[in-house]
Amino acid sequence: MSTATVENNHSAALDTAENAASHLITITLRVRRFNPEIAAEASWVDYQLQMDPKERILDALHKVKWEIDGTLTFRRSCAHGICGSDAMRINGRNRLACKTLLKDINPGKPITVEPIKGLTVLKDLVVDMEPFFQAYRDVMPFLITKGNEPMRERLQSAQDRERFDDTTKCILCAACTSSCPVFWNDGQYFGPAAIVNAHRFIFDSRDEGAEQRLEILNDREGVWRCRTTFNCTDACPRGIEVTKAIQEVKRALITRRI
């Protein structure tokens, strides 16, 4: 008896899966397009697409670029959420196009795709990332040590490694920095991503440059600009607790203890 029920359920599930696969849905992809050689203003362009709900926004963008309009411009490299190239504002929120499934963002309504905020748009979804990377370089995201180089590897306990584990996950996609209201209004602010990468070294037991980095972040445009809106934490595609990391840097600056 019970076996038969299980089999029935199983085949029913299979049928549903097959039906879903054979029934593509029509979505409207509403892209914020901008080409300075054609028009001074950006404008919205709608694309009707037949898509599987289990596909991603990136697949929809590819379909437009490869089959409808080859001039659509966006960045993507690995397409698997590692390179951090395709951060964009999808339905009003920063996400990676390669990690956002159509079925998860209400495909019944038009899906809006815009470039990330706060950085100059160069064309369509491509922004000038230079200010973002400059802030990253400014916090010196590399190991700083004193004295002679050891003859063997620099050992670290699992506990010490755990201290900064969360902030090692950053892929520099700029989803956090460009979700920050402070950064939109003040491009000089270091931004969450730079602080996260400073945190990664400040709390690393092998690193000896914490004082220098804390001094850099003690600046007017440093960590004190953070207003804890938590947009960065919500936007991070790697699930880094960005605001928590920023608060830890603030507390390290107050107590001068790491």
Partner 1 sequence: MPAGTLYRGREGMWSWVAHRVTGVLIFFFLFVHVLDTALVRVSPHDYDTVVATYKNPVVNLMEYGLVAAILFHALNGLRVIAVDFWSKGPKYQRQMLWSVVGIWIVLMAGAFYPVLQNTLRTLFGS
Chain residues binding partner 1 by CB under 8 A are 32, 42-44, 89, 91-93, 112, 114, 117, 179, 181, 227-231, 233-234, 241, 243-244, 247-248, 250-251
| Residue number with CB closer to partner 1 (213 or 250) | 250
Query: Which pair of tokens denotes residue 98?
Result: 């390669």
| Residue number with CB closer to partner 1 (54 or 251) | 251
Task: Report how far residue 167's alpha carbon sits from residue 231's, in angstroms, rounded to the nearest whole number.
Answer: 16
**Taking the complex as a whole, how short is the minimal distance between the CB of residue 143 and partner 1, in angstroms?**
26
**Taking the complex as a whole, how short is the minimal distance between the CB of residue 236 and partner 1, in angstroms?**
13
| Residue number with CB closer to partner 1 (85 or 233) | 233
| Residue number with CB closer to partner 1 (142 or 230) | 230
DSSP track, 148-194: SPPSS-----HHHHHHTTGGGG-----TTGGG-HHHHH-TTS--HHH
**Taking the complex as a whole, how short is the minimal distance between the CB of residue 117 and partner 1, in angstroms?**
7
Task: Report how far residue 75's alpha carbon sits from residue 219's, in angstroms, rounded to the nearest whole number.
Answer: 32
Orientation angle between helical segments 210-217 and 192-202, nearest 10 degrees:
160
Q: Are strands 111-114 and 25-33 parallel, antiparallel or unpaired?
A: parallel
**Taking the complex as a whole, how short is the minimal distance between the CB of residue 151 and partner 1, in angstroms?**
38
